[in-house]
Structure 1
């Protein structure tokens, strides 16, 4: 807020002091407008106008002291618009997917640590943002960790990070040693029948928290990249796939598309929908459409995203 020099012409010095005093007492000290009105000998409505005038003309300034660059107002508006338990909107240091991912992971690591309760069962999805989030957690309550999907590439960073985080949380770990998607339904059933895989899949019925990234199709999703390598991506895009959450495929309206259900290995939509707290991470230009689809799906309770994506989501909801 920039100080308005014209204020000195419209308000006498004594009036300016009184307006600033009223604003500080209400905004900083926390006194009610009724209490301030009694002290100053004016109506509470007058106090309200004084506070508003002081803020709008730069006589006082409300400054956020949050440790991370977060837009608190945009966060509340986004949560309200989509009926979320909460939303945290980060302000990345630069434009682009990489800057957004770093900003989101930094905030998400702190938020997740606060959300986890002692003895929780926490599910972790795949993705680079999840990897960066988990790698930043150095202390957390004791809890069990469950890998929510198989791996979508030969890069086992997700599994490695879960193992490392497990040493921090000191609970049981349920890794999913399987591919994200099998070549056919029969192969998927064979993999799911393996003892270790079956145990992890069954544990997903009892999750307290689930944390996942939103895969943005076609260029910001490990699953989409894998399907492209398999020569299967184009027909799926033609059928409207915009995003994935876990093993759930979504179109741009957030409706589920049952196109690969019999081949996917991981948490089902039914299992995910019953988790008390579902935390979604995602942002950057490559994930805007996907994140909007995820918000419309009803499968998100807590969201961490960037300001650009938040604005896009608000514009799409009008």
Structure 2
């Protein structure tokens, strides 16, 4: 027992309070497990169980401050080479694909609140990366924040709707949420043009052009990519854009290696923000969790969409070794 501490029994501290008491003594008062056991007259095994329960019930938040990742040597090199404002590099050497993905997403979720301010209009390009980021985000209320869905809706292969990304993120940040009440792509250009002129949707499209910060992950042009599996593009569309020089996808639109949108059969049928509205924003926060997105990430940087990058250590190394 530490000097001056008083022995308490579990008769005095019980139930849910016991879990909180043990967590407080361990994390805030710096007592070790034996000292807590002596203080509360319980076994060390019980202390271990209470600490595990506190973590499982998310009563405990354990994190490293952002400078641990943003002042990393590779973070500085990424900023210097690509002209970024900041980069956040997460350790993922030796991790499997899924573990590396989750580490990068968690890093982005930890850093995001630091990059937002009252009055911001944060636009989202939806997908699994952004959805999992929203799920990993700690509840952090930011005054007068608006979250914008930048691309219309469609089916997804991940078990959540497109609107769920923006809605979930807005809930976590205590923000106003504006979703687009229209499909991401229509069957014809004329139908898309007519729908964009509908008063309700026109107001929504005008609103999303207020975006000043962008949160996104790039898509690939692989045959199993999200843009095909979601039904946004057909295999024929994909072949056309690849032949036209596509290396990635940003907000549902195919881009070449310079980051410019490639005109094609989908362009006039889409409902969403034009890509040129996303160039040169106050912040463009790109989350790149895997090596499969290297080429698309470089295109996004070249195109002027990116000011902040979150990625893993080995991906950062590969980006720095790539021709730019």
Q: TM-score, normalised by structure 1?
A: 0.72
Structure 1 residues 219 and 116, CA gap change in structure 2 (3 angstroms): farther
CA distance in structure 2 between the partners assigned to 1:273 and 1:253 by the alignment: 12
RMSD of aligned alpha carbons: 2.5
Partner of 2:211: 207
CA distance in structure 2 between the partners assigned to 1:220 and 1:117 by the alignment: 37
CA distance in structure 2 between the partners assigned to 1:81 and 1:205 by the alignment: 30
Partner of 2:59: none
Partner of 2:146: 144
Q: How far apart are residue 268 of structure 1 and its match?
A: 1.0
Structure 1 residues 171 and 179, CA gap change in structure 2 (3 angstroms): same
Gaps of 5+ in 2: 1-62
1:197 aligns with 2:198: no
CA distance in structure 1 between the partners assigned to 2:172 and 2:209 by the alignment: 23
1:294 aligns with 2:295: no
CA distance in structure 1 between the partners assigned to 2:285 and 2:296 by the alignment: 15
Q: How far apart are residue 183 of structure 1 and its match?
A: 2.1
1:87 aligns with 2:91: no
CA distance in structure 1 between the partners assigned to 2:224 and 2:116 by the alignment: 28
CA distance in structure 1 between the partners assigned to 2:303 and 2:97 by the alignment: 23
Give the SS at the match of 1:218: coil
Would the aligned equivalents of 1:85 and 1:302 in 2 still touch at CA under 8 Å?
yes
Partner of 2:49: none
The correspondence of residues 1-318 of structure 1 with structure 2, limited to 5 A, is 66=64, 70=69, 72-92=72-92, 94-137=94-137, 138-142=139-143, 143-154=145-156, 156-219=160-223, 221-225=225-229, 226-227=231-232, 229=234, 231-259=236-264, 260-317=266-323
Q: How far apart are residue 97 of structure 1 and its match?
A: 4.1
Deviations 1:225-266 (A, max 9, x none): 335546422122121211111144222343432223212221
Aligned residues: 254
Q: How far apart are residue 93 of structure 1 and its match?
A: 6.2
Would the aligned equivalents of 1:106 and 1:136 in 2 still touch at CA under 8 Å?
yes
Gaps of 5+ in 1: 1-64
Would the aligned equivalents of 2:93 and 2:313 in 1 still touch at CA under 8 Å?
no
